[in-house]
Chains A and B, each alone.
Chain A
Amino acid sequence: MAVAEVAPTVLRYRLRYLDVLVPATVIAVVVLACLVGPALFALPEPTGGDVLESYMPALSPGHLLGTDPNGNDTLSRLLHGGRSSLLVAVAVNLLGLVVGGTLGAVSGHVGGLTDTVIMRLLDVLIAFPSLVLTLAVAQSLGPSRTNTILALAFFSVPAFARIARAATLRLRELPFMVAGQLCGTPTPRILLRHVAPNIAPQLITFGMLGMGIVIVIEGALSFLGLGIPPPAPSWGNMISQGQQSLSATPSLVVWPCLTLFVTVLAFNLLGEALRARWSGR
C-alpha cells in the first residue's frame, strides 16, 4: 500500500515540471542549433551555392537534408533562417515588453486623461488586422530585417500595453501600492520598484506566446516577399520558394514548415504552462 501511494506522488512531482521542461528543452535545442550549429557541423554557406548541385535529395554526401534549386544546403539555410526568425521574434517581443509595458503601466497607474489618450491611440492600432498593417508598413519601409522588426512592433506594443495596463489596475488598490503613494514615493520610482516586478511575470508569459505569434507573422511576411529579402534565408521565404516546386520536391516545403511548427508549438506550450502556473496560485 505504502509503495503504491508513494510512487504516484513522486511521479506526479516529476510530471509537474514536465509541462515547462519539455518545451523549454525544445526551445533551447532549436536556439542552440541555430546559433552554433552551422559552425559546429561545418555546414556550407546558406547562399551562393553551386547550381550544378541543385535539387539533391536528403542524405546526400555533405548535404544531410539535400539542396534547394540554387544548390544551397537545406540544413544550413534552415539554421541560418532560424537565426533571422528568432532574432526578429526576440527583438519584437523585447520592444513590445519595454515600450508596451511602460505605456500600459503608466496608463494604468496614472489614469485620467493620460490613460484615455494612450489607450485610445492603441485602440486604433489594435483595430488593424495585424498582418494587414505589417504588410503596409513593411512595404512602405522596404523589405529588410530591421524594417520587419519595426513593422511587427506596431502590433506587439499595443498588445503588451493592454496586458500591462490590466495587470497594473489590479495592483492599484493593494496595500503596498497605497502605502507607497502615502509615503510620497515619486511615480517613476513606484512604477519601477513596485509595479514593474509585479506585472513582469504576466508580461513574460505573454512574451512566450508572443514569440510564437511573431515567428508565424514574420514567416508570413517573408512568404509574401515583404520580410527578410532573399537570397538571405528565412523560414518564410524558404517555404515560399519551395512552394514553386511543391509537387516535384515537397521536402523543400516540408522541412521549413516542420521546423516552424515545432518551434512555435514549443513556445505556445511553454507560454500555456507558465500561464497555468501563475493563474493557479
Chain B
Amino acid sequence: MTTVTRAAPTLLTSPGARLVGKRLLMAVPIVIGVSIVTFWVLNLIPGSAAQQLLGPEATPAQIQALEARLGLDRPAPVRYLAWLGGAVTGDLGTSLVSGQPVAGLLGERLAVSGELVMLAFVISLGLALPVALLAAHRPGRLFDRVSMLVSITGLSVANYVLALLLVLVFAVELALFPAIGFVPLTESVGGNLQGMALPAAAIAFPLFCFYTRFLRGDLVDQLQGEDYIVTARAKGIGPWQVLLRHAFRNSAFGLITVVGLNLGTLIGATVIIEQIFALPGIGQLMLQAINTRDFVVVQACVVLFAVVAVVANLLADLLYAVLDPRIRYGSR
C-alpha cells in the first residue's frame, strides 16, 4: 500500500471535479468514434445517393454532375472532416431529398421523441419504485412472486408486439385511444397526451419490468447480506425504515447506472414505436431518410442517438460519483 498525501481539496483539485473532467474527456473520443463508424457504415451503401436521387434513367454524366454538386466525388476522409467541421459549429448539412437544413429538421422532431421518452421514463420508473419496494419488503411472498412473474414476462415481450396488442385492445376493440394521429402539444394538451398514451405505454412496460427486477434483486441482496442492515435492525429500526432509509439509498446507486445505460435502448425503441403510431419524431425521420437514401439525414440522426446515449451514460456516472463518496474518493 502506498500512502498518498492529499492537499486540501479546492474546487479544481477535488476528487469530484477531477472525475467529471476525466469522464468528459473519455466521452469526446467515443462520440467522434461513433460518427466515424456511422460515416463508414453509410459509405458502404451500394449505388450512390446521386443515382438514387435521379432515378434509374439518369445518364452517367448526370450522376457525375450531381455528385460533383453535392461534393460526393471527394474522398471519404475529406468528406468526413468537412462534415465534422460543420457539425461542431452546429451545421449538419442539408437534406439530399428536401434540401432543408438538417439541424432544423431535427429540432422539430426532437421535441416529439423527447416527450415520448420522458413519458415512458416517468411511467416506468414511477411504477417500478413502489412495486420493487413492496416486493423486496417481503421476498418470496405472493406479491413478490407475482411481480417477478409479470416482470420476466414483460421482458420477453418485444415492444412492437406489445404496441400492436395495445392497439388491438385499446384502439380497435375498446376505442379508448386513437391508434394513430399526433396532436402537437401546443394545440391541445389533452389530445396530445391521448395520442401519446399507447406509444409511451408500449415503451414503458418492458422498461418497468426491467427496473423492477433490477431494483428488487439489489434490495434483497442488500437486506440479506449487508452488515449495515444488521446494525440498523439491531438498533430497533422498523422494517420499512430499514428498507427505505438504508437499503434503498444504497440500491439507488445501481439503479441510476442501469437507467443511464438503458436510455440508449429507450431511444432506440422510439424508432419502431414512432413508425407504428405514425409519430413525427426522430425515429420516423431516420427511417424515412434510410428509405430515400438521404444519408446526410441518417448520419445526423444516428449520431444524435449515440450522443444522447453517451451523455446519458456520462450523467449516470457523474450522478453516481456525486452521490456515492466511495466512488468519488475511490482508487480509480
- By beta carbon, the residue of chain A nearest B35 is A124
Q: Are B298 and A130 in contact (CB under 8 A)?
A: no
Does A64 count as interface, using CB distance less than 8 angstroms? no
Q: A127-B306, A132-B268, A246-B164 are in contact. Are A137 and B172 (CB under 8 A)?
A: no
Partner of B286, one of A121, A135, A142, A264: A135
B167 within 8 A of A: yes
Chain A, range 195-254, C-beta contacts under 8 Å to B: 212, 216, 219-220, 223-224, 226, 239, 243, 246-247, 250, 253-254
Instruction: Tell me if B's interface is mostly helix, strand, loop or mixed.
Output: helix
Contact B158 A260 (CB under 8 A): yes
Instruction: Say yes or no: A261 contacts B156, CB within 8 Å.
Output: yes
A136 in contact with B41 (CB, 8 Å): yes
Mark A102-135 against chain B: 1 for CB-CB distance below 8 A, else 0. Answer: 0000000000000000001101110111111101
Given the complex, which residues of A lie within 8 Å of B164, measured CB to CB?
A: 239, 243, 246, 253, 257
For residue A127, which residues in chain B have a CB less than 8 angstroms away from its CB? 30-31, 33-34, 264, 306, 309-310, 313
**Among the interface residues B164, B165, B265, B271, which one has the most CB atoms of the partner chain A within 10 A?**
B164
CB under 8 Å from chain A, chain B span 125-182: 152-153, 155-158, 160-161, 164-165, 167-168, 172
Check A120–B156 contact: CB distance below 8 A. Answer: no
The 9 closest A-B pairs by CB, nearest first: A129-B268, A124-B33, A265-B156, A131-B268, A140-B44, A216-B158, A264-B156, A257-B161, A129-B264
Docked-complex contact A124 and B41, CB < 8 angstroms: no
Is B106 part of the binding interface, using a Cβ–Cβ cutoff of 8 Å? Answer: no
CB-CB < 8 A to B155: which residues of A?
268
- The complex places the Cα of A137 from the Cα of B295 at a distance, in Å, of 12
B42 touches A136 (CB 8 A): yes
Q: Is the CB of B156 within 8 A of A124?
A: no
Q: Closest chain B residue to A247 by CB distance?
A: B172
Closest to A256 in B: B161
Which residues of B lie under 8 Å from residue A272 when comparing CB positions?
Answer: 152
CB A134 to nearest CB in B, in angstroms, measures 9
Identify which of A132, A250, A253 gathers the most chain B CB atoms within 10 Å of its CB. Answer: A132
Select which of A132, A142, A216, A268 is within 8 A of B305 by beta carbon: A132
| The one of A136, A142, A223 that contacts B272, using a Cβ cutoff of 8 Å | A223
A-to-B contact residues, CB < 8 Å: 120-121, 123-125, 127-133, 135-137, 139-142, 212, 216, 219-220, 223-224, 226, 239, 243, 246-247, 250, 253-254, 257, 260-261, 264-265, 268-269, 272
B38 at the interface (CB under 8 A from A): yes
Q: Name the B residues within 8 Å of A268 (CB-CB).
A: 152, 155-156
Residues on B with C-beta less than 8 A from A141 are 44
| Contacting residue for A129 out of B37, B290, B306, CB 8 A | B306
Point out the residues of chain A lying under 8 angstroms from B168, CB to CB: 246, 250, 253-254
B276 interface hit (Cβ, 8 Å): yes
From B155, which residue of chain A is reached at the shortest CB distance? A268
Contact, CB under 8 Å: A261 / B268: no
Q: Is B204 an interface residue (CB 8 A)?
A: no
Instruction: Note all chain B residues with C-beta closer than 8 A to A129.
Output: 264-265, 267-268, 305-306, 309
Q: Give the chain A neighbours of B37 by CB distance below 8 A.
A: 124-125, 128, 133
- Number of B residues with CB within 8 Å of any CB on chain A: 46
In the bound complex, residues from chain B placing their C-beta under 8 Å from that of A212 are 156
22 A-B contacts, Cβ less than 8 Å apart? A124-B33, A128-B34, A128-B37, A129-B305, A130-B265, A130-B268, A131-B272, A133-B302, A135-B271, A136-B42, A136-B298, A139-B298, A140-B43, A216-B158, A219-B160, A223-B272, A224-B275, A250-B168, A253-B164, A253-B168, A257-B164, A257-B165
Most chain B beta-carbon neighbours within 10 Å: one of A139, A220, A247: A139
Taking the nearest CB of chain B, how far is it from the CB of A279, in angstroms? 11
Q: Does B269 contact A (CB under 8 A)?
A: yes
